[in-house]
């Protein structure tokens, strides 16, 4: 069996859940160089480019694994089910509404032959056995809001939250399997608990995880800058909740934000960033920004650049706006030409790089705990790799006589910035 995911972290979290479910039924992951009998793809359709990449992957898997049963799920399988169903080589479609039951559905519909010997492997499934130290855990799906550029509301449906005890149990299993860091993922993570009753929200979920599991590092996936629980910043007083937030702002222009139907205005975002940094030491804020939204003027763009400069994001995921069929934004007037979008992307890229380098340099001299994801090779002086608690990349320097391994938690002193790779340089701190 092979598993592939495109798009968001939520898709990746679902893929990991499927891997565990298939393994429990005795269906093992194929080695990279062996043919697979089953291929499962979690597709993305957030943009036309995502649709193209999803279809390209499906065609490639059919070429490389001609004998495999092909199962397609995710947003493309939901939004374009009829066209996919007509395509040769697709054996089964599982829409988003059914994807939590994907393993059960696939096993029943395709009458898969089981391999009982693989069911006796340790609980850490093959995804993690191949070097994964961080696990994504899906806690929420769907979104109640309708940003004009977003197809996700149609593709994912109404908000649905995974019960707190179920999330806690899943994290306990991962921790027992050797996972030391978990990322909570959802379409609208801040909306967690909206369907579970007034007493349950994201803050209650985080509190339960910190109180009822021994997971050493807890991270939050992409989080819209609204619907944050009342006690949100106080949760970071527990050092196991990592000081990094990905808060998509999309634009710094009030006029553009209204056209996007976003629920957070620029001044509110700036206030949120200021409060977060005042309450959480070392907080790294990253974001998404769309350049060239329909009707975006030069003044609107200058507002976006000013907001990005003021916040000082640790990273900006940049997107040139492209119309997505089925969204309201695709029908808006004043669509911008590609050359304007390219120029704005280039301008923001330069600003984002300056902000990132400034943040990296500000870390020099600190002593931090880093989860080792790739061990350094002492014989060749090749550094290892990991991330600081606030999610900045570190080149871990070899230390003669001090072996290091993936999944080790290492105390490092941050000595400098490797300008070529854009990573901090970390050396083992003295005990």
Is CATH 3.30.750.210 the right assignment for the domain spanning 133-242? Answer: yes
What's the average model confidence in pLDDT over 161-170? 96
Instruction: Answer left, alpha or beta for residue 197, where phi above 0 means left and psi between -120 and 50 means alpha.
Output: left
Longest dimension (CA), the chain: 65
pLDDT at 119: 31
What's the average model confidence in pLDDT over 180-197? 93
Can 250-361 and 367-428 be said to share one CATH topology?
no
Q: Judge whether residue 112 has pLDDT over 70.
A: no
Q: Which fold has domain 250-361?
A: Transcription Regulator spoIIAA (3.30.750)
Q: Where are the domains of the chain?
A: 2-120, 133-242, 250-361, 367-428
Is CATH 3.40.50.12160 the right assignment for the domain spanning 2-120? Answer: yes
pLDDT at 127: 36
pTM of structure: 0.80
- Percentage of the chain with pLDDT > 90? 61
* Residue 116: band (very low, low, confident or very high) from pLDDT cuts 50, 70, 90: very low
pLDDT at 392: 97
**Token pair belonging to 56:** 């390209």
The Cβ of residue 290 has, within 10 Å, a number of other Cβ atoms equal to: 24
Residues 6+ apart with CB under 8 A from 258: none
pLDDT at 62: 85
Sign of the C-alpha dihedral computed for residues 417, 419, 422 and 423 taken in this order = negative
* Residue 430: band (very low, low, confident or very high) from pLDDT cuts 50, 70, 90: confident
The Cβ of residue 166 has, within 10 Å, a number of other Cβ atoms equal to: 11
Mean pLDDT, the chain, whole residue set = 89
* Residue 47: band (very low, low, confident or very high) from pLDDT cuts 50, 70, 90: confident
Q: Which fold has domain 367-428?
A: OB fold (Dihydrolipoamide Acetyltransferase, E2P) (2.40.50)
**Token pair belonging to 198:** 């007034």
């Amino acid at each position: 069996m092979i598993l592939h995911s495109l798009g968001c972290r939520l898709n990746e979290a679902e893929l990991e859940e499927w891997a565990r479910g298939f393994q429990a039924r005795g269906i093992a992951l194929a080695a990279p160089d062996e043919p697979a009998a089953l291929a499962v793809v979690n597709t993305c359709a957030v943009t036309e480019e995502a649709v193209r990449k999803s279809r390209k992957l499906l065609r490639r898997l059919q070429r490389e694994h001609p004998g495999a049963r092909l199962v397609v799920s995710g947003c493309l399988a939901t939004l374009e089910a009829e066209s996919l169903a007509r395509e040769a080589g697709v054996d089964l479609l599982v829409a988003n509404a059914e994807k939590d039951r994907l393993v059960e559905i696939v096993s029943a519909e395709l009458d898969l032959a089981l391999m009982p010997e693989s069911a006796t492997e340790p609980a850490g499934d093959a995804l993690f056995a191949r070097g994964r130290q961080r696990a994504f855990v899906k806690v929420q799906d769907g979104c109640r809001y309708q940003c004009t550029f977003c197809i996700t509301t149609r593709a994912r449906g109404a908000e649905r939250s995974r019960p707190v005890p179920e999330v806690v149990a899943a994290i306990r299993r991962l921790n027992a399997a050797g996972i030391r860091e978990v990322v909570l993922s959802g379409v609208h993570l801040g909306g967690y608990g909206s369907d579970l009753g007034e007493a349950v929200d994201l803050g209650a979920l985080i509190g339960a995880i910190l109180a009822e599991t021994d997971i050493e590092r807890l991270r939050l996936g992409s989080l819209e800058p609204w619907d944050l629980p009342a006690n949100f910043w106080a949760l970071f007083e527990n050092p196991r909740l990592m000081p990094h937030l990905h808060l998509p702002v999309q634009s710094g222009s009030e006029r553009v934000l209204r056209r996007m139907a976003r629920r957070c205005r620029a001044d509110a975002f700036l206030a949120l960033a200021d409060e977060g940094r005042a309450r959480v030491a070392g907080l790294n804020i990253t974001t998404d920004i769309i350049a060239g939204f329909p009707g975006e003027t030069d003044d609107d763009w200058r507002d976006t650049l000013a907001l990005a400069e003021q916040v000082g994001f640790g990273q900006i995921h940049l997107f040139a706006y492209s119309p997505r069929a089925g969204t309201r934004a695709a029908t808006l007037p004043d669509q911008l030409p590609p050359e304007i979008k390219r120029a704005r992307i280039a301008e923001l890229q330069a600003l984002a790089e300056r902000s990132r380098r400034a943040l990296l340099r500000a870390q020099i001299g600190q002593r931090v705990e880093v989860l080792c994801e790739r061990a350094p090779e002492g014989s060749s002086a090749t550094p290892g790799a990991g991330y600081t608690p606030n999610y900045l990349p570190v080149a871990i320097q070899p230390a003669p006589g001090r072996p290091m391994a993936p999944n080790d938690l290492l105390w490092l002193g941050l000595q400098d910035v490797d300008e070529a790779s854009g990573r901090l340089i970390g050396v083992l701190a003295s005990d």
